[in-house]
Each structure stands twice: as structure tokens, then as C-alpha cells.
Structure 1
Amino acid sequence: MSGIMEPTGTEPAGQCPDRPSRTGTDLPDGQSRTGLPDGPAEPYGSVRHALLDAALEVFTARGYADAGLAEIATRSCLPLGSLFQHYGGKRGLYLALWEEFREEQERRTAATLAAERGGGVDDPIVLFVAGARAYLEGAWDNRRLARLFAEDDGPGGFDTLRRQWDRAWVRRNARLLEVDEKRRAGRVRVRVLTTVIGGAARELGDCADEAEARQIVDEVCGILTHLSTPPR
């Protein structure tokens, strides 16, 4: 996660509004997104989490263009100056949320692939589908963030940043599937597969409940298994 750390300042008087977690589900009391306790030992992280939680709430309610920094600061129960010192403004908050989502998805996928390989799996298609499942499950767990980045309402230059990450994603999938990127047919096949995963991740944000989300993940993984098989 990006952002300059500073010592925690004095919180404004009064009751702060409850803020939902940036993940799709509530976390147990005293637990952070990483499963570690949030306490006095992590004041900097607590400040950053408060700012990012508030920013996500305002971005999803108003859209990026109409989101106000004063409202974000008020919802975070921190002074406006703290927001600027940590993130430099609204764009910095948005990009920090994006980086957090991207890094969490990459960590989740990498952990799944490591576990599969550790269990003796070496089939490229099986590994690819396992990684895709991990990514889609992450999109469901972090659906508020996934929905935010699916919208065409972000800071200037974000579309370019997202396209760069998409290209890197395609290259990683090509290596995982052991596809020769010099062959146009292979590149196109991997790009189509990656696009299917991205489209499914966006659909998961609109699922009514976990049962529906799991049904979609299972169906998409079946499609990916079929499409990943090279033509004879």
C-alpha cells in the first residue's frame, strides 16, 4: 500500500460513524484484513485504514468525480491535513485502494499456486484454473473494491495504469499456461481467457449472496478448463 506515514494526531471530538470493512464481509472484533490484531502497536496502519475505509465509502456512494475530501476526512474522524499528508489528495487515496486490491489479489493467487505445486500439481491448465478460482473468490471477498474499479470513473491516468496491469496479467497467464507468446494464436487465446476472468469478476460484484457467487465461480472455472485446452 502506498502513502507516507505520520504519527497519529488527535481525533476530533464526537462520535465517529461506523465504517464497513473494505472487504465484502465483516471481520471479527479486533481483527484486521491480515488477521492480525489492530491495536496501539499499529497506529500508522490504523490511520491509513481509517482514511481508506472512509474514501471507499464516499467513492462508492458519490463516484470518484463527486467525492469530496472534506466528507472523507469527516467520515474517517481525522483532520483533513492528515489525509493530504498521507495520500496527497483524492487521487492518492484512489490509487492506494487500487494498489491494495491488486496486491491482495496477487498474493491470494500466488499462495494458491504455491499450495497446488506443493501438492504435486504440475498440469498448466489445472494450475491456471486454480489461480483463476482464487482470483474470482478474492473479487467476491473484496467486492466493494472490485465494483469501484469496474466503474469508468477514476482519476486521470487510471485507465492507462489499469491497461498496463492487464497486459502484465496476460503475460503471467501465458507463462502459467506455457503458451508461446511469439505465436499470435497463443497470445489471443490467453487474452480471451484473461478477459473472461475479468468479466466474471465484475459480475460477482452484483451477486445477491455467496451461494450465487460460488455458482458463478464454479461455472466460469468450467468454461476456463474447456477454453484452456489447446486446439488439436
Structure 2
Amino acid sequence: MKNRRWGRSSSTRDALLRAAREVFLAKGYGEATVADIVEASGISVGSLYHHFGGKPGLFLALWEQFMRGQEERTSRATRASEGTQERFLAGARAYLEGSWEQRSVARLFLENDGPAEFAGLRRQRGWDWIGGNRRLLGLDDSRRSQVLVVLLTTMMGEAGREVAACGSDEDAQVTIDEVIRLVRRVLSTTGGVGESPARVSGLGETA
């Protein structure tokens, strides 16, 4: 009985998230309403508030879902590569490819049109990624290392935005290849990159 209840709960959450994604993409966060999401999902308004607390909770849950997907993608790529720089580059490419494959929802998060707490959560995630990238690259806590990892993380975040905004597969691939070429160049001209475990929480800040 407990498993059946859990299954129904999970299905309800998934249906609400799918509906919210469709409504937010069609109308934008500001114009979307709870009534729109309830109508699109076929789920009661009470269930929506029970699972997500309202429209802001749905938006943030979608963002977390997207970001978890990006983190898992980059982690798989880094684990499959050898050498510190190659791991970072593999993760960077995976991150950018994810930005293109999920471009519709990525573009949603590029807009300054979310709940009030979104900006703060996005900033915190950015700092988390800076720490993850520092560990991935085996960098120490020096100011020089901090400048490098902030530069690379910011570069990847802006590159993810650029890829998500591309108008075709060809443009996206050219953009990804050029970003990887430039990141490789930065890494090749910078000393102090050491070995570290092949695990990373993120390469940049797409949203």
C-alpha cells in the first residue's frame, strides 16, 4: 500500500512539473497562473500546493531538475576521461551539449522572470560550481587559482547561454567547438593545474 501511494505521489509531481514546464515556456513565469498549470495537468489545485507550495516552488523544482541533469551529465563525462585538463574539457563539452539539447528550458531560466528567491539560489549554485571546478582542476586556495577558476566557471556559464540561444544544430556545434578550443588554450597557458578526483558538481551557470 505504501509503495502504491508513493507511486501515485511521484506521478502527480511529474504531471505537475510537465504541465508547469509547458505553461512557463508558453507564457513566461510572470504571466503563467496556477489555474493554467492545474488545467494543463488535470491535477487539483490542492495537490499542486501540497507538493510544491505554489507557482514559485514549481519553477524552482524545474530549475533543480534541469541543473541535476547537467551535473550528472558532466560528472559522467569527467569520469570517462583521464588527465585533469581532459576531464575538465570533457565535462565542459557535456555541459554545453546539455545546454543545447535542453535549450527550450535553458532559455526559460535565462529570462529575469522567476520567483524572488531565484536570483539568490542561482548565485549560490554558481559559487558551489566554482568550488567543484577548483577541486576538479586540482587547484590550491591561492588568489591566483581563485581568479583562474572564477574565470573558467564564468566563461562556461556565458558559453552555455550562447549555445542555448543558437538557431541551429550547426551553429550550436560550431559554438561548442570554439568554446572548447578557447578553454583548452587557457588551460594550456596556465600553470598549477594538478590532479584531482574525476568528480565535479558543475562547469558553469546556465540559468
Normalised to the residue count of structure 1, the TM-score between the two structures is 0.75
Opposite residue 105 of structure 2, the aligned amino acid is L
Task: Indicate which of 135, 149, 153 corresponds to 1:175.
Answer: 135
Task: Indicate which of 186, 195, 201 corresponds to 2:160.
Answer: 201
Report what 1:94 is aligned to: 59
Distance 2:39 2:140 in 1: 52
Aligned length: 189
Q: Does 1:135 pair with 2:135?
A: no
CA contact (8 A) 1:193 1:228 kept: no
Report what 1:149 is aligned to: 109
Q: Does 1:69 pair with 2:34?
A: yes
**1:43 to partner: Cα distance:** 4.0
RMSD between aligned alpha carbons? 2.0
Q: 1:47-86 counterparts in 2 under 5 A?
A: 47-86=12-51
CA contact (8 A) 2:48 2:54 kept: yes
* Percent identity of equivalent pairs: 44
CA contact (8 A) 1:200 1:220 kept: yes
Q: Does 1:124 pair with 2:84?
A: yes
**1:89 to partner: Cα distance:** 0.4
Query: Secondary structure of the equivalent of 2:154?
Result: helix
Deviations 1:157-197 (A, max 9, x none): 2111111110110111111112222x212211111111111
Q: 1:11-30 counterparts in 2 under 5 A?
A: none
Gap regions ≥5 residues in structure 2: 192-207
Q: Which has the higher helix share?
A: 2
CA contact (8 A) 2:25 2:108 kept: yes
Report what 1:223 is aligned to: 182
Deviations 1:94-121 (A, max 9, x none): 11101101111111111111122xxxx1
Distance 2:89 2:78 in 1: 10
